[in-house]
Amino acid sequence: MKEIRTRFAPSPTGFMHIGGVRTALFSYLIAKHNNGSFILRIEDTDQTRYVEGSIEVIYNTLRDLGLNWDEGPDIGGKYGPYVQSERKNNYLKYAQQLIDEGQAYYCFCNEDRLEDLKKIANNKKIPYKYDGKCRELNINEVQKRIEEGEKYVIRFQMPRTGKTIFDDKVYGKITVHNIELEDLIIIKSDLMPTYNFANIIDDHEMDITHIVRGNEFVSSTPKYVLIYQAFGWNIPEFIHLPVIKKEKDSDKKLSKRDGDATVEILKEKGYLNESIINMLALTGWSPGNEKEIFSLNELIEVFDISGISKGNAIFDVDKLNWFNNNYIRKLSIKELCQLTIPYLQKSYDLTEKSSLWLEKLVSIYQEQLSYGAEIIELTKLFFEEELEYDKEALDYLQTIDTKAVISTLKEEIIKINDWNEENIVKAINNIKEKTGIKGKPLFMPIRICVSGKMHGPELPMTIFLLGKEKLIKRL
């Protein structure tokens, strides 16, 4: 049986979009589920979009997530090089083959003419398509214009009759009338291949068996198929993934302008690699049962193409928070501190705070923490002098008489010489005995005075971490 070979081929444009990383993940899972190979290839044919340092971003993001490649620019492989700009002469060779066989041609139409064609199509309210003017140029005229230095591109000659049919592993059989297809540019005027053509050549030469990409590329797939057929090559399996949307029932795609659209932003906010992988796996794919928490190895074991959805996928940040909270709750105290304390260091003055105090502080929020940076907001009551009160808390205080509880609490707190949690618990019990107040009317006013909120972590530990002096001022 032929080895399953998939690839992830990002452009080095400076960031890793959530959609691109999901493509990488699904490509990786298809390969590894079938004991195949996952290849990393850098698509840098459009040098105008290249951003310095982007390739390192790609490497670091994939490695952090555990998506290690079997072949790629940094580790090599028998199908290298794995950077498109290093394969430039290769593409010209194949383009020339298509010209020699009458399946491609030189096109000298300039931008002005193409713009005019687009305006005509727009006025007629029909889709724009290049009219094929240069298809019929004879070889002598072509040669003369090239020798005179006239700029040109090379276009693939689409058939004007018949249909192109291909099977997509997600969307099934797709049929397109060839007359609808534009003669695709395969070599640009700078002699670099277009994205589409370079992909085809590289996928063939690297023996890629399965191509995973977003469903926005479904419309261009018939052109791929026709070029494969023109060369007489085997056509790989196509797996088109549903577009990731920002919200349910919305046409808005998740874009880099959205706050959580790149892995870098998620990592900066303190989302764990495991939760990002888990969320992306279930964005447009289902295991067919109720299970939601998966390790990467578990995903490799159960992943099946049949579970990929045809409909839009929603990147649900609330769901991501739920995943991340599940993983945060499993962290050791050391790991929790490594995740959260850097955020506190950037936001607050910790010079007088001991490492033990910080450990206790972050540990009381471990159960509720959704992502690392959230620790800043959760803990601000310990660092800020002016306390902010929730409306819910203020409304509650209007319903009961808190004077006895608060005044007695202040008396009991002042008496404490050895500031520890055990003595704080005793002080609260003394209030209960002296006032006869217990339950919610006792604990809620204390919590509100301490934190400004009606809900939060264990009250005695919260009081201990706040400190005697700050608590008395607050009371």
- Mean pLDDT for 227-256 is 83
**Given this chain, do its domains 1-73+242-330 and 391-474 carry the same CATH topology?**
no
- Mean pLDDT for 452-458 is 90
* Residue 257 pLDDT > 60: no
Q: pLDDT-based confidence at 396, cuts 50/70/90?
A: confident
| Segment 406-434, tens digit of pLDDT | 899 999 999 999 999 999 999 999 999 99
d(CA 342, CA 350): 11
Mean pLDDT of the chain: 93
* Residue 113 pLDDT > 80: yes
Question: Does residue 82 or residue 46 have the better pLDDT?
Answer: 82
d(CA 290, CA 413): 50
- Tokens at 382, concatenated: 């310990």
332 exposure class (CB count in 10 Å sphere: 0-12, 13-18, 19+): exposed
Lowest-pLDDT range, 203-207, 352-356, 383-387?
A: 383-387
Which CATH architecture fits 391-474? Answer: Orthogonal Bundle (1.10)
- Tokens at 48, concatenated: 């105008």
* Residue 97 pLDDT > 90: yes
Domain boundaries, the chain: 1-73+242-330, 86-241, 391-474
- Tokens at 417, concatenated: 């010489």
Q: Provide the pLDDT for residue 260.
A: 56
CATH of domain 86-241: 3.40.50.620
* Residue 475 pLDDT > 70: yes
d(CA 267, CA 252): 23
Residue that has been written with the tokens 């923490």 in this structure: 369
Lowest-pLDDT range, 52-61, 107-116, 245-254?
A: 245-254
**% of the chain at pLDDT higher than 90:** 79
Question: The whole model's pTM is what?
Answer: 0.90
Dihedral angle over CA of 327, 332, 334, 336, nearest 10:
30
CB proximity list for 131: less than 8 A, separation 6 or greater: 117
| Segment 1-36, tens digit of pLDDT | 789 999 999 999 888 899 999 999 999 999 999 999
96, containing H or E segment: helix 88-100
Backbone angles phi, psi at 98, to 5 degrees: -65, -40
Q: Is 256 a catalytic residue?
A: yes
Task: Lay out the sheet containing 37-40: strands in order across.
Answer: 37-40, 5-8, 210-214, 237-241, 163-168, 172-177
* Active-site residue, selected from the candidate residues 88, 188, 256, 432: 256
Q: Provide the pLDDT for residue 256.
A: 54
CATH of domain 1-73+242-330: 3.40.50.620
| Segment 165-183, tens digit of pLDDT | 999 999 999 999 999 999 9
